[in-house]
Every structure is written in structure tokens, then in C-alpha cells.
Amino acid sequence: MRNEPTITPEQVAEHGLTEDEYQTILNVLGREPNLTELGIFSVMWSEHCSYKSSKVWLKTLPTEAPWVICGPGENAGVVDIGDGKAAIFKMESHNHPSFIEPYQGAATGVGGILRDVFTMGARPIANMNALRFGAPEDDKTRHLVSGVVAGIGGYGNCVGVPTVGGEVNFDPAYNGNILVNAMTVGLADADRIFYSAAAGIGNPVVYVGSKTGRDGIHGATMASAEFDDATEEKRPTVQVGDPFTEKLLIEACLELMATDTIVAIQDMGAAGLTCSSVEMADKGGVGFDLDIDKVPQREAGMTPYEVMLSESQERMLIVLRPGTEAQAQAIFDKWQLDFAVVGHVSDSGRFTGRVAGEVVFDIPVRPLVEESPEYERPWVEPKAPAALAPVTAAMEHMAALKSLLAGPHLSSRRWVWEQYDQTVMADTVRKPGGDAAIVRIHGSDRGLAIATDCTPRYCRAEPRQGGAQAVAEVWRNITSVGARPLAITDCLNFGNPERPEIMGEFVGCIQGMGEACRTLDFPVVSGNVSLYNETHGQAILPTPAIGGIGVLDDLERHADLALRRDGDNLILIGETAGHLGQTIYLRQLLNRGDGPPPPVDLTVERRNGDFVRALIAAGRVDTCHDLSDGGLLVAAAEMAMAGDTGLDLNGPEDAGFWFGEDQGRYLLAVPEADTAEILQLAEQQQVPAQSVGRTGGEALTLNAGAPISLAELRRAHEAWLPDYMRND
């Protein structure tokens, strides 16, 4: 081993390792590490790679169902969608890099999640994203929105995967820590899934894709530290994405996967070559012996430390069957990508790197993974919110509706999604703007429904309810297009877990999510945790973003929110108690954030959803919208605007009825001739259902008041975001 200066306590601290953690390293090695080894331990034991604060709780989430082929632990989750096909999907955060350099941060976030999915053998078929920005008034917000949206589009559009939906929220809690959560869904043959466990002593370890440069060194440790004012100086550590190379890498990998050459494959994401090597070796119970000089390098004079910790993008590591190197290389040559045999699988159980034959690091694999710290962070039970103080209506209901539709929370996101290619691949059935996006399973009459959701203000007020609500709303969104919900991925964004109240939010959200997943048969198959989203001690709202998928067995039988006929009855499904605590109505129009969030009754949620889905699957309902932010009146207006068909609404006068955010509810538009029967069916199944209006005309009318034209509503709804972004 090369002689290197001894490690100082400062270096240990700079690598984000505690004294105890460093002591464990000394025990594992039986000697002092050199700098490269210290770097390897530091990235492997960072929060981002080791899940040291969250592991204990993540284990409590349900991850199994008969249709789950592969749950958490691999690059992405895999579910059986029938007909010999599998959907592979995951959501991942790229929060810190996007705050520092919004275009490249968001772009490389998309690139990373795409690789997680095609690594497992899937062709990516849809992208989604969940974005949270600071208050619109904050100086940085406009610039961040502009850069993030352009970055997501710039990458996804170029690789030719449609971005079919997502969400955009604004809240001052994200002023110093925006959230960029990207999700990819891919399609594979169920019997052609590729995993990462290395095997076969002596098998070649192959590096493909882009060359390695000094990009993103310490990216993984940066993503696990709080921000301070010096963070903006850290710009050079942000990686730059090359979507063109990614596109070539997708095609080359899928071409290679069609041959019989791959033993194991893994993308190089956070902590690059280190993390991918260690995970492949550990899963296979083998060692990895790497020749660092063989790694294709973009810059001269890179040290082993830099090569091992680089987060250069668009790279993959593959263990090949012996003797297939030439066949594999021909494919990568065709796509003009780097291909290099950089080492071999060994029986040493050690992760060893050499430069010119000399060992530069040598670490036992098992302890590097298993001795990684795991913390049961102390947490406190979140304080239950006080009861809601009395609410006086802010203004007349129609004026309130117009104001909400024209505000930052509920205005149209068209400005965002028109910068995303939503229709490339020619299989997009339902574009952004509905409850769930739908993409056709290529070459079939079946479809996948995809949705993302989370209501962070509910999670802050009552984490357990908020966690359950996030899962339930995704399930409801998928149900409201008629699809059968299958599984979710989660992207858990929280503040500093070393603070017991933040850890309490984390625990509460996980508990709520777990309950919802169990009751709704909606297991977690993949996910990601992003902690330390704090600046100057100000944490973000707890944001467990959920992405879910469902399957549609017959594309002919799906629903969307657009009213399509005059004379239909608008049927409200679900109980309306008029819950105003934590609503958008309260927040935007009364500037209040008090009260508990709406309670989630998971049994009722399931019963109501199963009823609605059965009606759509039977071809009896083609128009459906779930009720969420803004409540009944907002949902009804969205249906009217989408279908360019007016509505005459009738019901009680109280604000809670029209703007409450009670859960487990849907609006259906049903022809007059079918109405009585559907209401009767609902009664038989103990599903609350009532008629609240009738379609027709070109305006919205409430309780025979003054009508408001759809054109006027649409102008208000469409104007806010483009006006806000005018001078970006």
C-alpha cells in the first residue's frame, strides 16, 4: 500500500464522519485508512447512501404483494402488470444540486432516475416530477422555477421519454431548500429483469458510457448536509448532464440486454464508481478488484480519490459473462460510447483498487456495508393541532373560486408542462392536467396510469394523517381514471433528522403511509430519502412525495375529468363533512393555517374508490375527477373548463361544503338515464352519493346565483403562472 500522510481529525470531520464512525473504520480495517479509503467510507456511510437515520423506519413499510416482482433494495421497484410485462419505476430527489444550479441539477436528476430504471432492463416510457419551490415573492423563486423546468425538459425531451405529469407547489418553507423529485416508469418483459448482484469469480467488470471527470466530487456528502451561506460557493461540485449520451446509453444497454452477456449491471449514481462497485460486490457476496488506470478519464492527472468519488453522469458498471467482451464492446462502439474492462470479480471479499499494479485502497466489502452506521434517532410525538377556530366565509363563493383558480396554489401549470415533450413515443393517452397520466403499453390495448402526490401542509399539521393522505390521494388519482392501483415509490424529503421534532415528523409520516399502504394493498417497491433539507435551522415542510402506478386492462374504458355532454348529472361520491382545517381556502383567502388536516378513513377510501373504479371498468362512467386541494367547487370548475361544458350547481350555502377538503371523494358526470341506477348501486354498497349539479351551457352557476362564464374562469386560471414568469 502506498504511504500517505496520516488522517487528521479535520479530514475526518470534513468527510462528514463522526468520531465514533471513524473508530468503526479503524476497527474494520485494523489500521488507519488512507485518504482514498476515507473518501470511500465517507460516501458509503453518508446519509444519502447508507440511510443511517431512516433505515429502522423504512423497514416498517409494507413491500410485498402477489404482483410485486422486486421491492426496495435494487435500483428500482418491479411489478407484474400482466401479459408477461413488468413495470419498473422509482422516484428520486435531486434537491440540493437543483438549488445550487437549477438547470443542471434538475437535468441530472432526470438522468439519474432514468438510469435507475433502464439498468434493470426496462425501456423508460414516462417521466413525472414533483417540484416544490419557495414563496412566489421570494427573490430566488422565479429563477429556480425557470431553471428547474428548463432542465427537466432539456434532459427528458432530448432522451425522448415523455414527461406526462407532476406537481408544482409554492410555500415559504422551501425558500432555501427547493425539492426536485423525479420519477421514471419503464416497461420490460417480466422474465428479462436485470439485477445488480455480481457473480462469477474472474468475470470481467466493465465500465461503459461517458468518461470520468472531476464532476460532483462530494455530491453524495453534500446532499446530506445542511445548507449555509457558503453553499453557493460549492457550485463546481454540481454535475453537468449530457442527455444525448444518455440516449445512446439507453439504446446500447437495451441492445446489450437482448444478448446473453450480462451477469449483473448497475448505474453509477451518487458516489459513482464506489457505490456501484460496493453494492454489486456486496449483493453477490464477492470481491471487486479494479485497475483505476483503466477507467476512462476526461481530465489528466486524476487521483484515485477523484476517480472513485467522481459523480460524472451517464456511466454504468457491468459484470459480463467470460468471453463476451468483444460482443459487448461492438455494441458500445456502434453507439460511440466508452467501453473498458476495469477489473474483475474476485473471491477475496475485498474491494481493492490498483494504480500501475500498486494497491491504493483495500477494504473488506461486507463490513463496509454492514458496519455502516444505523441510528435510532430520538424523536418526539408531534403535537396534535388545536381545533379549528370558527371560520367566516372570506367572500362570496364564486368570487372565492375565481380567486383560488387564479392564485399560486391552484392555477394552471400549463406554462410548465408545455416545456415538456408529453407525446414522444406516441403512446400518451392522457396528458398532464388530469388526475393521473395514462400511457399505452406499447403494442397493446392496455395502459398504465401514473400519479404523484403529497400535501405537505397536512403532513406538518399531523404527520400521521398527512402520510396516509399522500398515499391515499395517489391511489384515488389512479382510481379516478379507472385503473387498478398496484404499487408506489416514495421520495421522503425532510429536515434535519438529528432534531427530535423533525424525526417525529418522519416517523409519523412513515406510520401513516404504512397504514394506507396496508389497507389499500398498495405496497412500496422503491424509494429514496432526502434529509437535512434545512437552511439556517429552517426545515422544509415534511414532504413524503408519493408516486404510484396502476394498470388499465382496457384503454377503451377509462375516465377523465372533462365534462363531455350536456344534461349529465354531477354526482358527488363520498361523505362531505365540510372540513376546512388546513385547506387551501383557509390558507389563501383567510391567511390561516390552523386546525387539523382532514381525517383519512382508509376503509372508506377503499370502499368509495372500489365503487368508482368498478363503474368505470364496466363502461358506465367516463367522466370522473377526484376531490383534493380546493375541494368540491374547484374540482367542478376544473371539470367544466377541461370539457368546455358549463355546470349548474346546487347545495348548501356553507363554505365547508364547497371548499372543504374531506377525503375519499370523487365527482362523476352521469347521463340522466343512468343516474337513478347508479345512486341506487351506491346506496346498496353504502357509498354516500348525491347529485350536486347538472352539465350544460357555457358558464358555472351556484345555487341560482350570478353565472360566471367558463371563458372568464379559464382566463383567470391560465394567467397566473405565465404572468408570474414573464420576466424570468
User: Cβ atoms within 10 A of the Cβ of 105, count?
Assistant: 24
- Does residue number 150 form part of the binding site for other proteins (CB under 8 A)? yes
Q: Stretches 50-58, 151-159, 165-173, 503-511: which one binds other proteins (CB under 8 A)?
A: 151-159
Contact residue for other proteins among 158, 168, 368, 474 (CB under 8 A)? 158
Instruction: Please classify residue 386 by burial: count the beta carbons closer than 10 Å to its beta carbon, then call 0-12 exposed, 13-18 middle and 19+ buried.
Output: exposed
Segment near other proteins (CB under 8 A); pick from 126-134, 155-163, 260-268, 698-706 = 155-163
Would you say 60 or 244 has its CB closer to other proteins?
244
> How near is the Cβ of 429 to other proteins at its closest, in Å?
5
Show Cβ contacts of residue 9 under 8 Å, excluding neighbours closer than 6 positions.
19
Among 56, 254, 424, 699, binds other proteins (CB under 8 A): 424
Asked if 429 touches other proteins (CB under 8 A), the answer is yes
Considering the rule CB under 8 A, would residue 557 count as an interface residue with other proteins?
Answer: no
Binding residue count for other proteins, defined by CB under 8 A: 35
Residue 118 in 3-state DSSP?
helix
Q: Residue 709 interacts with other proteins (CB under 8 A)?
A: no
**Considering the complex, what minimum distance in angstroms separates the CB of residue 711 from other proteins?**
9
**Residue 138 or 654 with smaller CB distance to other proteins:** 138
Q: Which among 42-50, 135-143, 236-244, 468-476 is the span making contact with other proteins, rule CB under 8 A?
A: 236-244
| HEC-encoded secondary structure of 601-665 | CHHHHHHHHHHHHHHHHCCCCCEEEECCCCHHHHHHHHHHHHHCCCEEECCCCCHHHHHCCCCCC
94 among known catalytic residues: yes
CA distance 25 to 34: 11
Which three cell numbers mark 94? 435531486
Q: Is 493 helix (H, G, I), strand (E, B) or coil?
A: strand
In the chain, what is the straight-line distance between the N-terminal and C-terminal CA atoms, in Å?
A: 54
Catalytic residue, chosen from 15, 48, 218, 625, is: 48
Binding segment (CB under 8 A) for other proteins, from list 291-299, 427-435, 481-489, 663-671:
427-435
Scanning 148-156, 171-179, 484-492, 578-586 for contacts with other proteins by CB under 8 A, the matching segment is 148-156
| Span from 191-199, 266-274, 328-336, 599-607 in contact with other proteins (CB under 8 A) | 328-336
Q: Which is nearer to other proteins, 396 or 712 (CB)?
A: 712
Which is closer to other proteins, CB of 260 or CB of 556? 556
Tell me if 115 contacts other proteins by CB under 8 A: no
Encoded one letter per residue, x for contact with other proteins by CB under 8 A and - for no contact, window 402-421 reads ---------------xxxxx
Report yes or no: 630 and 394 within 8 Å, Cβ to Cβ: no
Question: Least distance from C-beta 151 to other proteins, angstroms?
Answer: 11
- Our finding on whether 444 is near other proteins (CB under 8 A) is no
Residues 26, 28: Cα–Cα separation, whole Å: 6
Are the beta carbons of 45 and 373 closer than 8 angstroms? yes
User: How many other β-carbons are positioned within 10 Å of the β-carbon of residue 131?
Assistant: 26
CB atoms within 10 A of CB 399: 12
Rounded to 5°, angle at Cα 129 from 128 and 135:
155
- H/E element holding 133? strand 123-133
Closer of 31 and 334 to other proteins (Cβ): 334
Out of 159, 342, 559, 655, the only residue in the binding site for other proteins (CB under 8 A) is 159
Nearest approach, Cβ of 550 to other proteins (angstroms)?
A: 17
Which residue, 235 or 334, has its beta carbon nearer to other proteins?
Answer: 334
Q: Which three cell numbers stand for residue 347?
A: 473471491
Minimum distance between the CB of residue 203 and other proteins, rounded to whole angstroms? 30
| Least distance between other proteins and beta carbon 557 (Å) | 13
- Residue numbers 237-256 binding other proteins by CB under 8 A: 242-245, 247-248
Q: Binding of other proteins at residue 422 (CB under 8 A)?
A: yes
In sign, the C-alpha dihedral spanning 145, 147, 151, 154 is positive
The least distance separating other proteins from the CB of residue 440, rounded to whole angstroms, comes to: 6
Q: Which is nearer to other proteins, 180 or 641 (CB)?
A: 641
154 binds other proteins (CB under 8 A): yes
We find the least distance from the C-beta atom of residue 190 to other proteins, in angstroms, to be: 21
- The least CB distance from residue 116 to other proteins, in Å, is 20
Decide: residue 78, CB within 10 A, 0-12 exposed, 13-18 middle, 19+ buried.
buried
Contacts of 162 (CB under 8 A, 6+ apart): 125, 126, 127, 156, 420, 421, 422, 423, 424, 425, 427, 428, 439
Q: CB of 338: closest distance to other proteins in angstroms?
A: 15
48 given a catalytic annotation: yes
Pair 100, 235: CB distance under 8 Å: yes
**Residue placing its CB nearer to other proteins in the complex, 279 or 421:** 421
Closer to other proteins by CB, 340 or 429: give it.
Answer: 429
The residues pairing with 119 across neighbouring beta strands, listed in sequence order, are none
Strand ranges across the sheet with 262-267: 262-267, 315-320, 204-209, 338-346, 287-291, 350-355, 358-364
C-alpha cell at 588: 389563501
727 binds other proteins (CB under 8 A): yes
The SS3 call for residue 490 is strand
Spatial contact of 616 and 670, defined as CB atoms under 8 Å apart = no
- The residue from 119, 127, 157, 535 that contacts other proteins (CB under 8 A) is 157
Q: Which is nearer to other proteins, 529 or 552 (CB)?
A: 552
Q: Which residue among the candidates 94, 344, 558, 717 is catalytic per the annotation?
A: 94
The four Cα atoms 139, 142, 144, 146 give a dihedral, to 10 degrees, of: -160
**Shortest Cβ 619–other proteins spacing (Å):** 16
Positive or negative torsion for Cα 211, 212, 213, 216: positive
Task: State yes or no: residue 153 binds other proteins (CB under 8 A).
Answer: yes
Q: Does 183 bind other proteins (CB under 8 A)?
A: no
Q: Pairing relation of β-strands 315-320 and 262-267?
A: antiparallel
Q: Among 325, 498, 674, 718, which residue interacts with other proteins (rule: CB under 8 A)?
A: 718
Instruction: Please name the residues in contact with 579: beta carbons below 8 A apart, sequence gap of 6 or more.
Output: 598, 599, 656, 660, 661, 662
Q: Exactly one of 81, 290, 328, 425 binds other proteins (CB under 8 A); which one? A: 425
Q: How far is the CB of 628 from other proteins (least distance, A)?
A: 24
User: Does residue 359 bind other proteins (CB under 8 A)?
Assistant: no
Residue 423 interacting with other proteins (CB under 8 A): yes
Dig out the grid coordinates for 257 from the structure.
440486454
Contact 483, 548 (CB under 8 A): no
Q: Candidates 136, 160, 172, 578: give the one binding other proteins (CB under 8 A).
A: 160
Q: Tell me the Ramachandran region of residue 112: left when phi exceeds 0, alpha when psi lies from -120 to 50, beta otherwise.
A: alpha
- Tell me: does residue 506 bind other proteins (CB under 8 A): no
Q: Within 10 Å of residue 618's Cβ, how many Cβ atoms? A: 10
* By CB under 8 A, residue 619 contacts other proteins: no
Task: Give least dist CB 635 to other proteins, A.
Answer: 21
At residue 396, φ and ψ (nearest 5 deg) are -60, 145
Nearer to other proteins, 684 or 727 (CB): 727
Which is closer to other proteins, CB of 350 or CB of 430? 430
Count of Cβ atoms closer than 10 Å to residue 719 Cβ? 15
H or E element in which residue 99 lies: helix 95-100
Q: Which residues are catalytic?
A: 48, 94
For binding to other proteins (CB under 8 A), which residues are involved?
150, 153-154, 157-160, 242-245, 247-248, 334-336, 417-429, 440, 555, 714-715, 718, 727
